[in-house]
Structure 1
Amino acid sequence: MYKFITKLVFIVSFSCSFSASSQWYETQGHARTNDISVELARTKAMENALKKALLVSGASVSSVQQVVNGLLTQDQISIRASGSVNSIELVDEIHSDNLITVTIRADIFPQEKKCFAVNFKKSLLITRSHLLQREQANIGEIYLIDKSVMRKLAVQLNQQSTFTKTSSILNNKTEFSRLNNSLASDEISQLTQSLSESTNSQYVMFSEITNVSFDKQATNSWLFWQQGVYPRNFAISFYLYNGINGELVWQQRYQNTAPWTFTKRINVDVDGNAFWQSEYGMMVENILDKVIKDIDENIMCEPSRGKIIQVQGNQVTINIGRDHGLKIGDEFSLLHLNHFTDNSGKSYAGFNLSPYKVKVTKLSRETATATTPDGRLFGNIQVDDLAVRY
């Protein structure tokens, strides 16, 4: 068992005043030692555990770390929501097969949360990516990387994200890439709303893999191939849309390069452990970790919206429930849909804030029943209107 205590340097992204008493959070982190050193695996496990501790306390974290001899010696962290860490302690370390598990305690000063919406998870639909230049996938025949990467992202989001509840449709491609290439924003909005409607998702994510090429010098040099190390690029662009109104919420492009350690003529299974434990696979996975952090930071304070699926007397049923973090007694405002068309004929999704507020009285995993506290009957509230927590 290893123990140490280290101070962390913080860059706080907003002005704040901390409460007088701090609180300890104990969390576990995991990492596999396949093809990497024990020291590096230990550090990755500690990063995982520390991130969990900070997110549990209500913080969203990005970190830049310097590692010397497997110990965390410097950490610069930007916190968006709340919390400041005074110290961390490595409590326990267990090695089992190729898995290392660490337990840490983090001494965190709490702070009032920046927004109420962080209490709830937003439903997010992941769609299959699109490989823009298919010929670049010839070496290794990694044509299914458009499906594999998004499957990995969906799994990691459900495991790591504090603010999303993720589902996916990966067997078939959408028309997004064709529409995006032709700048058909209205059609993309309609596609987004259609997918949102059919899957009960508040957000829909599209993506395009723009580069999986090799360095030209590497592909033209036989000697380079004989050496068994070939730099290969990976670039991917993400587009996150609000499923309610079809508007683009966030987009970002990520890219990196890592050695391709497979032989030139072998077909690589992009769903297999050999790929994801290779240097190239780990590079792609590191990009996905950044994507998860960016998704969380961009939707954590967005209002949690549930669609009304039933209206009965002074009672509504909405399509978010216990799995999204709702609790008995949570209060929601109601929005009445008010679509309109401008002078150019472009359609917009508008909303009228209803005077009614409702309180959750019954819960299932996927739905909630809420009633008006004073028993008042609803006026113009109807199915497909929204219940919103800001």
Structure 2
Amino acid sequence: MKTMQLIILVLLTFSVKAEWFSGSGTAVIFENNRALARQQAARQALRNVLIQAEVSLAALDLFRPEELPGELFTLHSSVPISQIIIQEEHERDGQLSITLKADIWPQANLCNDRNVAKALLLTPFSLAADSAQVGSGNIELTKEINTRFTSAIQRSPADFLIKAVTPVALFPPEQYQKFTAIKQLRSMSDNTQSQFIVSGRIRNLSFGRNPGGPFKSESWIRQFALEISLLEGVSGLLIHTKNYQTRTLWPYSITTQINAGSDQIWRSDFGIELQRLINESVDDLAKVLSCVRVRAQVIRLQGHTITISAGSRQGLRPGDIFSLLYSNSFTDSWGNNYTSNEEAKALLKVSRVYPDHAEAQFDNKSLFVPVNIRDQVQQHTIKEIYNAN
């Protein structure tokens, strides 16, 4: 019976007709490498399609841009991307643009269960000390990069929900694993009801000289390097880190004062590359967190009703199932502390959903177990529910 219910659930998922969405992307042509530019532009176009369809950016991992033919074509891909068609492609001033449309199944899932957005606490990117002394306007450019990164996170509600943004940057990554830092991170996560913390550091904004020649004047090259860190809120531990870097032509004099948010920068090769790397870092976060189960806190107890700190803005629905987590800590003979979370056998079933919280009751009242404020609950998957026995 349970197997039949699961089959019906899957069939219902795919009974809704797929829908066509259109998107465009632009990439810089480096050293006449048009093949790479086509791949990057097509990926950015497909990314915009997924955002419109409110599909997880983790679906980009299904796309194989190296298979792009040179003409209009149909590419058979995997669910939730059914087909991709290149509509238009053109090149101008060293930049290549592609417009495509894709047949998307918005209801399709990449994991065992439908996707639920992860609650994030964002901290502003800091500017590494060795970058702050090079060039002018770096502080304003860092602020603009922060703004665009936050916007890129907000544009993917299928993957993320920003719970809070701190006014100041986090301490340097070298301190993340110190005891006092972990304690602070856990407190920050607890106070903002955020499951994960995202931090970053801009490592390079320096200039380099591109010598001229008999038929070419001297120009400037500008570098960019960004380090992104993802930390788990409950444990305070670093779970993902990655560096992103590029270098492109800087179309202005090194002393030219340019508004950091102007189209002059963001439509230039340098700006297009910065935006591509910002998007790539967000895509990587979506991929890392795509099948991670959502955790929330018990925030209120009222009779048999348990209120948890996750709601419709994260994608919760009535009928969703959560398990109650208990923390189990011990100290070994050498004085080292260890902590693990164990799931209670009793399950909580969501009955009512609000934007930032939800009400739930024990799915089986005979399995009632003690619950306290600030206890952790964790999303149960369809697969786990149907394999429970």
Q: TM-score range by the shorter chain?
A: 0.7 to 0.9
> Is the alpha carbon distance of 1:319 and 1:245 closer, same or farther for their aligned partners in structure 2, counting shifts above 3 Å?
same
Identity %: 19
Question: Which of 159, 162, 166 is the matching residue for 1:166?
Answer: 162
Q: Over residues 56-109 of structure 1, what are the superposed CA-to-partner deviations in whole Å (9 max), with x where a residue is unaligned?
A: 3896214464799996669797x6xx4453454759xxxxxxxx9978351769
Contact kept? 1:134, 1:143, Cα under 8 Å:
no
Q: 1:161 deviation in Å? A: 5.4
- For the residue of structure 2 that corresponds to 1:329, the secondary structure is coil
Further displaced range: 277-286 or 62-71: 62-71
SS at match of 1:147: helix
Residue deviations 1:271-302 (CA, integer Å, cap 9, x gap)? 33332222211111101111121111111111
Q: Is 1:242–2:241 an aligned residue pair?
A: no
Q: For residue 328 of structure 1, report the CA deviation from its aligned partner.
A: 1.0
Partners of 1:362 and 1:370 within 8 A in 2? yes
Deviation at 1:160, TM superposition (A): 3.0
| Equivalence for 2:354 | 364
State how far apart, in whole Å, the 2-side matches of 1:232 and 1:367 are. 46
What's 1:198 paired with?
Answer: 191
Of 90, 101, 111, which aligns to 1:104?
101
Written as runs of structure 1 = structure 2, the 5 A alignment for 1:40-119 is: 46-52=45-51, 56=55, 60-62=59-61, 63=63, 65=65, 82-83=79-80, 85-88=82-85, 90=87, 104-106=101-103, 113-116=110-113, 118-119=114-115
Counterpart contact for 2:59–2:110, Cα < 8 Å: no
1:189–1:162 CA distance, 2 compared to 1 (3 A) = same
Secondary structure at 1:160 match in 2:
coil
Aligned twin of 2:119 = 123
Identify if the C-alpha distance between structure 1 residues 110 and 151 changes in structure 2 by more than 3 Å, giving closer, same or farther.
closer
Q: Give matches, 1:172-183, under 5 Å.
A: 172-175=168-171, 177=172, 180-181=173-174
Q: Does 1:145 align with 2:144?
A: no
Q: Could you say what secondary structure the match of 1:236 adopts?
A: strand
Residue type of the alignment partner of 2:141:
I
**Cα distance 1:58–1:268, how it changes in 2: closer, same or farther (>3 A)?**
closer
User: d(CA) in 2 for partners of 1:154 and 1:375?
Assistant: 42
CA distance in 1, matches of 2:86, 2:203: 42
3-state SS, counterpart of residue 338 of structure 1: strand
Moved more, 356-365 or 131-140: 131-140
Distance 1:72 1:384 in 2: 55
Q: Distance in 2 between matches of 1:387 and 1:20?
A: 29
Residue 336 (structure 1) aligned to one of 326, 341, 353? 326
Q: Is the 8 A contact 2:59 2:81 kept in 1?
A: no
CA contact (8 A) 1:126 1:205 kept: yes
How far apart, in 1, do the equivalents of 2:68 and 2:112 lie?
Answer: 37
What are structure 1's unaligned runs of at least 5 residues?
1-18, 34-38, 92-99
Paired position in structure 2 for 1:261 = 251
Deviation at 1:262, TM superposition (A): 2.5
What is the rounded CA distance, in whole Å, between the counterparts of 2:183 and 2:72 in structure 1?
Answer: 48
Q: Match of 1:209?
A: 202
Task: Give the match for residue 9 of structure 2.
Answer: none
Query: How big is the shift at 1:191?
Result: 2.6
TM-score in terms of structure 1 length: 0.74
What are the superposed Cα offsets for residues 232-283 of structure 1, whole Å, 9 maximum, x if unpaired?
Answer: 1111111111101112221111111111123221233323333222221111
Number of the residue aligned with 1:14? none
Using the TM superposition, name which of 267-276 and 126-135 deviates more: 267-276
Q: Aligned partners of 1:312, 1:376: CA distance in 2, in Å?
A: 18
CA–CA separation in structure 1 for the residues paired with 2:238 and 2:309: 22
Contact 1:26 1:103 in 2 (8 A): no
Distance, in Å, in 1 between the alignment partners of 2:57 and 2:42 is 23
Q: What letter matches 1:208 in structure 2?
A: R
| 1:340–1:272 CA distance, 2 compared to 1 (3 A) | farther
Across the aligned residues of Structure 1 and Structure 2, the Cα RMSD in angstroms comes to: 4.0
Distance 1:316 1:167, change over 3 A: closer
**SS of aligned partner of 1:60:** helix
For residue 322 of structure 1, what is the aligned residue in structure 2?
312
Secondary structure at 2:139 match in 1: coil
Aligned partners of 2:81 and 2:105 also within 8 Å? yes
Q: Match of 1:140, as an amino acid? A: S
Q: CA deviation at 1:169?
A: 2.5
TM-score, length-scaled by structure 2: 0.75
Q: How many residues end up aligned between the 2 structures? A: 348
Query: Match for 2:264: what amino acid?
Result: A
